[in-house]
C-alpha cells in the first residue's frame, strides 16, 4: 500500500475522534454544531455501534409544533431536525421531500410505527413512534440492534436516537423544547404525554447520491431495553420489521465560482444547495501535518494526516441573517487527491431556499469569551 493510501485510510479512521475533540475545544465552531445538535454517522451494526451513535446524537431532538389542516402533523423530532416554518413545511410536502408514513408492527405488546420521512438525494430523516413500553423514570431507552437496508443494500451510513425533549437555539446551545435553558439539574424527557416515545433515524448516502429517492426501505428493530454508561440492559425481546417506500426530491441548485479563502491557499469552486443539505468543493494544496491523538488504549499518539480547509459552517441570507450552525451530520474529505479537490457535504438543521441564500460562511476565527459569531469570524464567499 502506497504512503498516500495509508494516510488516507488513517485519516478516515480518526476523523470523528479528531472532530469531536476539536468541538470540545472550540465553543463556537463545528464541534458544537455536530456534537450538541448534529449527528455522527455509523455503519449498521449491533448495540455497541448503535450506542455510539445514540451518544453522539443525544442532544438531537425537537420542538413542539401543533399539526394543522394545511400540512401534515410533523413529529417533534422532525420539527427539531429542520426547524421549518409552516410555509416551508408546505413546500417540502409539495415537493415530496417530506412525506407521511403509516406502516406499523406490533410484537411483545409494543407497537413501532413509521410516521414521517424527509428525503433528498443525499440524506433521509425518518421518524418512528414507539408505543406500549413503560419506561422507568430516569432511564434512557435503547434498541439492542437495528438493521437498515435501502433497495436491499446497506452501502450507506446511519445514526439514530430516541427523541429526548431537548433542542438547540440559534447559537447552537442545547435548550428545552419550549426554548428555556437547561439549567443545572436538567433531565431528558423521552415519554410524550400520550405515553409514546419517538425514535429518529438519519441516513447519509455518501458516494451513492440518489440512492434514497423513491426507494424501498427495510428497518428492523430488535429487542428493547435501557442503556446506562455504555451498558445495555435488556427488557423486552421482540422484533419490529417495517417495509415502506421513501419518496424525496433531487432538487438542487448548483453554483460555480473560484473564490479564495483569505491567504489559506484554499479556493471554493462549487456549491450545491438543496432544501435540506449543503455541499461545497474546494481546490487546495495537499499538505501533510502531524496531529496528536489518543489510541484505543487511551494512550497519546501522533498521526500523519492531510491538512483540512477552513470549516464550512453555514450561509448568509439576503436579508443579512447568519445561519452559522447548520451542520447536522455529514462527511468531508478529498474527492480527488491528485487534483487537490476537497468535498464537504452535510445535512442542515434549517430548510433552505437557494434563492434566498446570499453567501457561504467558512470559519476564520472564534470570538472571545461568550460572544456570538459575527461576520468577522468568517471567510464570506458570495454566491454568483
Higher pLDDT, 184 or 47: 184
Q: Are 170 and 325 in contact (CB under 8 A)?
A: yes
Burial tier of 379 (Cβ tally within 10 Å: 0-12, 13-18, 19+): buried
Give the pLDDT confidence of 83-97 residue by residue, as tens digits: 899 999 999 999 999
Instruction: Round to whole Å and give the CA distance between 268 and 343.
Output: 10
Give the pLDDT confidence of 139-172 residue by residue, as tens digits: 999 999 999 999 999 999 999 999 998 877 777 7
Q: What pLDDT score was predicted for residue 28? A: 35
For residue 316, give the DSSP letter. Answer: E
Q: What pLDDT score was predicted for residue 71? A: 59
Edge-to-edge strands of the sheet including 157-162? 98-107, 110-119, 123-131, 197-204, 157-162
Q: Is 50 exceeded by the pLDDT of residue 7?
A: no
Give the pLDDT confidence of 253-300 residue by residue, as tens digits: 999 999 999 999 999 999 999 999 999 999 999 999 888 888 888 889
Q: Is 50 exceeded by the pLDDT of residue 12?
A: no
Q: What pLDDT score was predicted for residue 297? A: 87
Q: What percent of the chain has pLDDT over 90?
A: 65
Q: Is 80 exceeded by the pLDDT of residue 19?
A: no
SS3 category, 353: coil
Q: Is 70 exceeded by the pLDDT of residue 16?
A: no
Query: Length of the chain, please?
Result: 384
Q: Is 70 exceeded by the pLDDT of residue 357?
A: yes
Report all structural domains of the chain as residue ranges with CATH numbers, in order of start.
Answer: 3-7+252-382 (no CATH), 38-245 (2.60.40.1630)
The pLDDT mean for the chain works out to 83
Quickly list DSSP for 64-92.
----BTTB----HHHHHHH---HHHHHHH
Q: Is 60 exceeded by the pLDDT of residue 41?
A: no
Give the pLDDT confidence of 331-342 residue by residue, as tens digits: 999 999 999 999
Claim: this prediction has a pTM higher than 0.75: yes
Q: Is 50 exceeded by the pLDDT of residue 23?
A: no
Q: Residue 76: count other Cβ atoms within 10 Å of its Cβ.
A: 20
SS3 category, 29: coil
Q: What pLDDT score was predicted for residue 292? A: 87
- Residue 368: which residues within 8 A CB-CB, separation 6 or more? none
**Which pLDDT band holds residue 371 (cuts at 50, 70, 90)?**
confident
Q: What pLDDT score was predicted for residue 383? A: 97
Please name which of 297, 13, 254 lies closest in space to residue 121, comparing C-alpha atoms. Answer: 254
Least confident of 308-317, 351-360, 363-372: 363-372
Q: Are 178 and 243 in contact (CB under 8 A)?
A: no
Instruction: Round to whole Å and give the CA distance between 203 and 212.
Output: 9
Amino acid at each position: 500500500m502506497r504512503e498516500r493510501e495509508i494516510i488516507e485510510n488513517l485519516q478516515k479512521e480518526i476523523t470523528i475522534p479528531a472532530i469531536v475533540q476539536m468541538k470540545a475545544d472550540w465553543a463556537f465552531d463545528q464541534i458544537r454544531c455536530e456534537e450538541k445538535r448534529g449527528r455522527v454517522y455509523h455503519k449498521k451494526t449491533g448495540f455497541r455501534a448503535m450506542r455510539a451513535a445514540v451518544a453522539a446524537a443525544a442532544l438531537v431532538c425537537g420542538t413542539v409544533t401543533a399539526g394543522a389542516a394545511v400540512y401534515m402533523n410533523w413529529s417533534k423530532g422532525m420539527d427539531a431536525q429542520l426547524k421549518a416554518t409552516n410555509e416551508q413545511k408546505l413546500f417540502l410536502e409539495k415537493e415530496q421531500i417530506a412525506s407521511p408514513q403509516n406502516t406499523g408492527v406490533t410484537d411483545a405488546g409494543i407497537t413501532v410505527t413509521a410516521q414521517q420521512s424527509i428525503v433528498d438525494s443525499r440524506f433521509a430523516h425518518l421518524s418512528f413512534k414507539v408505543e406500549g413500553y413503560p419506561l422507568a423514570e430516569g432511564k434512557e431507552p435503547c434498541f439492542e440492534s437495528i438493521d437498515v437496508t435501502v433497495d436491499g443494500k446497506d452501502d450507506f451510513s446511519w445514526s439514530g436516537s430516541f427523541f429526548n425533549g431537548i433542542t438547540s437555539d440559534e447559537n447552537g446551545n442545547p435548550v428545552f423544547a419550549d426554548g428555556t435553558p437547561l439549567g443545572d439539574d436538567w433531565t431528558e424527557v423521552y415519554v410524550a404525554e400520550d405515553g409514546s416515545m419517538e425514535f429518529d433515524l438519519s441516513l447519509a448516502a455518501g458516494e451513492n447520491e440518489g440512492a434514497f429517492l423513491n426507494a424501498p426501505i427495510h428497518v428492523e428493530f430488535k429487542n428493547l431495553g435501557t442503556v446506562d454508561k455504555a451498558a445495555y440492559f435488556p427488557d423486552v425481546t421482540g422484533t419490529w420489521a417495517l417495509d415502506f417506500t421513501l419518496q424525496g426530491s433531487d432538487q438542487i441548485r448548483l453554483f460555480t465560482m473560484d473564490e479564495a479563502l483569505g491567504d489559506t491557499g484554499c479556493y471554493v469552486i462549487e456549491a450545491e444547495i438543496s432544501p435540506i443539505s449543503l455541499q461545497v468543493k474546494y481546490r487546495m494544496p495537499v499538505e501533510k501535518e502531524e496531529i496528536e491523538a489518543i489510541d484505543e488504549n487511551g494512550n497519546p499518539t501522533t498521526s500523519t494526516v492531510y491538512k483540512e480547509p477552513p470549516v464550512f459552517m453555514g450561509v448568509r441570507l439576503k436579508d443579512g441573517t447568519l445561519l452559522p450552525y447548520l451542520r447536522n451530520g455529514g462527511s468531508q474529505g478529498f474527492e480527488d487527491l491528485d487534483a487537490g479537490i476537497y468535498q464537504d457535504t452535510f445535512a442542515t438543521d434549517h430548510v433552505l431556499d437557494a434563492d434566498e441564500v446570499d453567501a457561504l460562511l467558512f470559519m476564520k476565527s472564534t470570538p472571545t469569551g461568550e460572544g456570538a459569531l459575527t461576520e468577522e469570524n468568517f471567510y464570506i464567499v458570495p454566491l454568483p
